[in-house]
Amino acid sequence: MTATTGIIFPGQGSQSIGMLAALAEHYPQVKETFEEASDVLQVDLWLLASEGPAEELNRTENTQPVMLAAGMAVYRVWLSQGGPAAAVMAGHSLGEYTALSAAGSLDFTEVARLVAARGRFMQEAVPAGKGAMAAVLGLDDDAVRTLCANAAQGEGAEAVNFNSPGQVVIAGDRAAIERAIELAKEAGARRALMLPVSVPSHCALMRPAAEKLAAMLETVSVKLPEIPVIHNVDVDIAGSADAIREKLVQQLYQPVRWVETIQAMKQRGIETLVEAGPAKVLTGLGKRIDKTLTFLPVLDPASLEKALESCNA
């Protein structure tokens, strides 16, 4: 273990058709990991990731197991090639499940079932078209919270992902989010735009999904992880299996505190963060959070080689 290396796993939004194709050509663990999850769910996740169609890949109940498999596949390749184990892990939203599985808290096949159900519960909680998410760029956190409060007018509008300084995602009822976008523009936001997602994650509209998830989590074996995992909901490490379950339930309807998560990893002595997944989304955010940290995305053979050289130097 390298005490200064952390590993982070992305959530929804990092998926794309053809993802991890180059890595899969060189490392059998990629397809093997996808097959493991596919067998459990009776869905060909690799075909979906490789060929789409995009609307199927982007359906929450499909995206979540695909992204779980992608993160775990990259992590397994990383370890197989001599990449150092992490001193601490974290995942952005859905990525927290990948982190927990990689850290030995949740069995991979069991968590594949769990996240597919989580996606269904989320989809069922809010009728299509009723909810929305938007990104607000160029305003501070408090300004975004204020404009959400002013936009609500009896509906839901909340700041839900604190991704980097000046980048906050909001979620809630579509009409309220549309009002919030207009208020953000009036307040001088650099950009305020709807996100192409099918559910409004991490807001109060997800409470019905959280109740179903809580019931399912009671049937799932949860252990304390072998590697510490910092949770989104309270930027802390769970002290028991029940605490992990509770944090995962709360995560569905409470904000992702990603800026604080990266800061907490640095406070634990982390200097290098490896992003295990099919894109560079968390790397981009991380560079805006703290320029003194090194972020190394691993998504293809070239980036894997670069990250291994850096971590094993």
Positions marked active-site: 93, 202
List 162's β-bridge partners, or say none: 168
Q: Which two tokens stand for residue 18?
A: 């053809």
- Give the torsion through C-alpha atoms of 225, 227, 232, 238, to 10 deg: 50
DSSP state of 85: P
Q: Closest Cα to residue 11, out of 175, 201, 214?
A: 201
Q: Give Cα separations from 132 to 135, 158, 177, 202, 258 (angstroms).
A: 10, 11, 7, 11, 20
Q: Closest Cα to residue 248, out of 108, 157, 114, 156?
A: 114
Pick left, alpha or beta for residue 98 (phi over 0 → left; psi -120 to 50 → alpha; otherwise beta). alpha
Q: Closest Cα to residue 275, out of 67, 119, 52?
A: 67
Give the DSSP H or E segment for 160: strand 157-164
State the Cα–Cα distance between residues 152 and 136, nearest whole angstrom: 16
Please name the residues in contact with 73: beta carbons below 8 A apart, sequence gap of 6 or more: 20, 23, 29, 30, 32, 33, 34
State the Cα–Cα distance between residues 16 and 48, nearest whole angstrom: 10
